[in-house]
Amino acid sequence: MRMVDLIEKKRDGQALSQDEITWMVDQYSKDQIKDYQMSAMLMAIYFQGMSHEEAGYLTMSMVESGDQIDLSQIDGIKVDKHSTGGVGDTTTLILAPLVASLGVPVAKMSGRGLGHTGGTIDKLESIPGFHIELTSEEFVNQVNQHKIALVGQSGNLTPADKKLYALRDVTATVNAIPLIASSIMSKKIAAGNDAIVLDVKVGSGAFMKDDQAGEDLARTMVKIGRSVGRQTMALVSDMSQPLGRAIGNALEVKEAIDVLKGKGPEDLRELVLALGSQMLVLAKQAKDLNQGKQKLLQAIQSGQALAKFKELLEIQGGNSQVVEDSDLLPQAKYQIDLPALESGYISSMVADKIGQASMVLGAGRKKLDDQINPAVGLILHKKIGDPVEKGEPLLTIHSDQVRVEEVKALLYDSIRISSQAQKPQLIHQIIGS
């Protein structure tokens, strides 16, 4: 096979075969195909697209380029949940113990990653004592015994995706739906779960800026998952503003505990119930989404979900007293209110700018070796559609520095107040039920 022929084929809008895609990814991984040819291929894919079959082959070639986690020793249907990334997304922290309390095995492996706050693992590490280092054997045993374990990423998963993603980044080819879909799905499949629930975010804080692109991405990923034998469902959900009220590591742990207690912000609860019911259906613990939702509500009301969260903390060394006393979580030195400069209704809260503000405070990482400050972040008192009086606090900044001028400027820049505004709809689409 010659790469130039494959480039020509894709350039002219033809589909590549499974053999061709497998060969290409394998050769590229071994540096037998150079970046200049792969760049041309990526650009051809960007313009010509890929069929779902092709995207499935690409996904599996990337999965096969590295280690695959073997969860076969864990009983039951293992369901993973993935979000395409938003601001203040606290859902995994809540969903993991919630569905585990209903018998769904949660064998969650997360990377640290870059972003506005840390990932789920970093958030949990803000709980004094909590550790994420388990051997594979401990990991498997813990899930079999307690239905839940959350650990850091180990192994060399999908190296071909890493290499291709880096090339896409410098060739203006990141934003192609089949490439994004295969990139995400390859990592999920290599992580070894039987079924996958995807939360595709759309809006200012998200990778996908509009509904149509979000829906396309979600449908493509569902098709890829199913074509390679992993049951997959998806939601398209709003990320025009941050989710919930807390943005920050320890602050989001407290928010997660609130939701597990049956309290917490309405939007976060709604999203948790929607994703959780899909997880229960895929794990065959509910016959449909509605029954799933009833079970989730019951698990929250009865306290069994909160008890599972405490159990997780206890088995992974965390201080479970934080559940009753959130003052045991790291606290920032200063709490600084941001007053509204006029009266009216909140008409926008640009999620990615608010995310940047939390990053400047130290809640997230710019580079992989940056340290996260678990205590800092933001608590929103207002969300889009809420009325506000001049001088009323829009939000509270939790900071270890008393001077937060840059953060305030970012925040004022992200929040608009108008004479009228409507609450955005949270869940735009439910796909694959």
Active site members: 82, 161, 168, 183, 187
Pick one of Ca ion, ligand URA, none as the site partner of residue 90 (Cβ within 5 to 8 A by kind).
Ca ion
Please identify which residue in 41, 45, 189, 246 interacts with Ca ion, judged by CB under 5 A.
Answer: 246
Least distance (Å) from ligand URA to the CB of residue 239?
14
Least distance (Å) from ligand URA to the CB of residue 61?
15
Terminal-residue alpha carbon distance, the chain: 41
For Ca ion, the binding residues in 84-113 under the rule CB under 5 A are 88, 90
Pick one of ligand URA, Ca ion, none as the site partner of residue 180 (Cβ within 5 to 8 A by kind).
ligand URA
Closer by beta carbon to ligand URA, 165 or else 412? 165
Which residue, judged by CB position, is nearest to ligand URA in the bound state? 183
* CA atoms of 230 and 204, how far apart (whole Å): 30
Interface stretch with Ca ion, choices 83-91, 210-218, 279-287, 339-347 (CB under 5 A): 83-91
Which residue, judged by CB position, is nearest to Ca ion in the bound state? 244
Pick one of ligand URA, Ca ion, none as the site partner of residue 191 (Cβ within 5 to 8 A by kind).
none
Pick one of ligand URA, Ca ion, none as the site partner of residue 355 (Cβ within 5 to 8 A by kind).
none
Q: What is the x/- site pattern for Ca ion, positions 38-77, by CB under 5 A?
A: ----------------------------------------
Residues making contact with ligand URA (CB under 6 A): 165, 174, 179-180, 183-184, 207
Least distance (Å) from ligand URA to the CB of residue 184?
5
Least distance (Å) from ligand URA to the CB of residue 104?
24
Least distance (Å) from ligand URA to the CB of residue 204?
17
Closer by beta carbon to Ca ion, 45 or else 246? 246
Q: Secondary structure of the chain in the HEC alphabet?
A: CCHHHHHHHHHCCCCCCHHHHHHHHHHHHCCCCCHHHHHHHHHHHHHHCCCHHHHHHHHHHHHCCCECCCCCCCCCCCEEEEECCCCCCCHHHHHHHHHHCCCCCEEEEECCCCECCCCHHHHHHCCCCCCCCCCHHHHHHHHHHHCEEEEECCCCECHHHHHHHHHHHCCCCCCCHHHHHHHHHHHHHHCCCCEEEEEEEECCCCCECCHHHHHHHHHHHHHHHHHCCCEEEEEEEECCCCCCCEEEHHHHHHHHHHHHCCCCCHHHHHHHHHHHHHHHHHCCCCCCHHHHHHHHHHHHHCCHHHHHHHHHHHHCCCCHHHHCCHHHCCCCCEEEEEECCCCEEEEEECHHHHHHHHHHHCCCECCCCCCCCCCCEEEECCCCCCEECCCCEEEEEEECCCCCHHHHHHHHHHEEEECCCCCCCCEEEEECC
Closer by beta carbon to Ca ion, 358 or else 399? 358
Q: What is the x/- site pattern for Ca ion, positions 333-372, by CB under 5 A?
A: ----------------------------------------
* CA atoms of 244 and 363, how far apart (whole Å): 16
* CA atoms of 376 and 362, how far apart (whole Å): 7
Closer by beta carbon to ligand URA, 165 or else 334? 165
Closer by beta carbon to ligand URA, 220 or else 399? 220
Least distance (Å) from Ca ion to the CB of residue 255?
5
Least distance (Å) from Ca ion to the CB of residue 90?
4
Closer by beta carbon to ligand URA, 178 or else 276? 178
Pick one of ligand URA, Ca ion, none as the site partner of residue 246 (Cβ within 5 to 8 A by kind).
Ca ion
User: What type of residue sits at position 330?
Assistant: P
Pick one of ligand URA, Ca ion, none as the site partner of residue 374 (Cβ within 5 to 8 A by kind).
none
Closer by beta carbon to ligand URA, 60 or else 179? 179
Counting residues that bind Ca ion (by CB under 5 A) gives 4
* CA atoms of 252 and 81, how far apart (whole Å): 18
Q: How many residues does the chain have?
A: 433
What residues line the site for Ca ion (CB under 5 A)? 88, 90, 244, 246
